[in-house]
Amino acid sequence: MFSEGELELLQKIISQGLLQALGETLLMTFVPTILAFVIGLPLGILLVTGDEKGIRPLPRWLMKLLHFIINILRSVPFLILLIVVLPLSRALVGTTVGTRAILVPLVVAAFPFVARLVETSIREVDPGVVEAAQSMGASTFQIIWKVLIPEARPALIANFMVALITIFGYGAMSGAVGGGGIGRIAVNYGYNRYKPLVMYFAVILLVILVQLFQSAGNVLVKKADKRIR
């Protein structure tokens, strides 16, 4: 079914380049996800608490500006955003090719998405719990740190895994424009060289990784959800 050349190429990739590609893929997944949450978590909380009905309303023009910026960044397809942000990658990391260069557009693409996920998670918290904390004189910081985040923890963890898997997919797509990882193997050694066996192998490996991420996320959500205990 597959030629001897394809089998030899796949064997060479597995023995010489697979571990490096796997490491690059994990790097392009976890680092941007963590950085996106560092930016997106406070931003998502701000979108809830700064709302006109929130616990600390902010000027309407400021909230509209934040929503506008997030919506604009979210509406741009990732591959287009990647190309647009590459000059920023050159300025920050000194190159527009490879794993390091892709980290910057991955973070830029991910943090608005994460902010919306966090906003959704925080809005699911029972308003009665927040009102009870306010009636006891809790400060804004105390309500955020001791009420909103703990109550929304299961949803936040679930959405973290959603973001992780989404960024994982973005990183795989970046192989088409000079990124590293398993996506580069699928594009450079599979698609561009007309070696379907290599491409199928890369796709299967990506699917397995997604399943592992999702399974780990499900376990963490169950441990964090007080209703399941």
143-181 pLDDT, tens digit per residue, is 998 999 999 999 999 999 999 999 999 988 887 777 778
CA gap 120, 45 in Å, rounded: 9
pLDDT at position 229 over 60: no
pLDDT in tens, 87-122: 888 888 888 777 888 889 999 999 999 999 999 999
Q: How confident is the model at residue 63 (pLDDT cuts 50, 70, 90)?
A: very high
What is the chain's alpha carbon radius of gyration, rounded to the nearest angstrom? 21
Report which residue type is found at 173.
M
CA gap 95, 138 in Å, rounded: 48
Inform me whether the pLDDT recorded for 224 exceeds 70: yes
Residues 179-219 have pLDDT tens digits of: 778 888 888 888 788 888 888 999 999 999 999 999 998 89
**Hey, CA dihedral for 54, 58, 60, 63, is it positive or negative?**
negative
pLDDT of residue 189: 84
CB proximity list for 129: less than 8 A, separation 6 or greater = 147, 151
179 backbone dihedrals φ, ψ, rounded to 5°? -75, 170
Amino acid at 149: I
Distances (CA, A) of 195 to 4, 53, 198, 201: 11, 57, 6, 10
What pLDDT score was predicted for residue 2? 66
Query: Are 171 and 99 within 8 A, CB to CB?
Result: no
CA-to-CA separations, 134 to 121, 126, 139, 144, 215, in angstroms, rounded? 20, 13, 7, 11, 37
Question: In the predicted model, what is the mean pLDDT of the chain?
Answer: 88
> What percent of the chain clears pLDDT 90, i.e. is strictly above it?
44
Q: Please tell me the CATH superfamily of domain 4-228, with its number.
A: MetI-like (1.10.3720.10)
